[in-house]
Amino acid sequence: MKNFKSFMLEGSKEEYKKFFDGKLAKWKIKSPSELSDADKKKFFDEIEKEWTKDEEIEEGKMSEIDAMLQDGMTAEQIAKKLKLDLKALKQLLKNYK
């Protein structure tokens, strides 16, 4: 079984890459270096705003979530108990095994 912390880090990297690649496609570029300085600022401001709007789970909560999973709790139960966004939690737990 994967360590929950390493799973979270791996998942975050994969999700961020997908998100970033999607932004490149939206802007119809292969690299931010293709943009003017003003557009680069807009591009990265957009990324920062949209990436960070999703609820981030604090490292302290990761061990709590892991313990709850070990106790057999569902994502719905965990999200409710810890007051987390269910969709974000499900996305993080999608490949957790």
SS3 sequence, 30-74?
CCHHHCCHHHHHHHHHHHHHHHHHCCCCCHHHHHHHHHHHHCCCC
User: What confidence score (pLDDT) does residue 16 get?
Assistant: 78
Q: Domain range holding 62?
A: 4-93
User: What confidence score (pLDDT) does residue 36 get?
Assistant: 94
- pLDDT lower than 50: segments of the chain: 1-2, 54-55
User: What confidence score (pLDDT) does residue 55 get?
Assistant: 45
CA distance 44 to 62: 28
Number of domains in the chain: 1
User: What confidence score (pLDDT) does residue 10 get?
Assistant: 53
How many CB atoms sit inside 10 A of residue 84's CB? 19
Q: Is the pTM of this model over 0.75?
A: no
User: What confidence score (pLDDT) does residue 74 get?
Assistant: 92
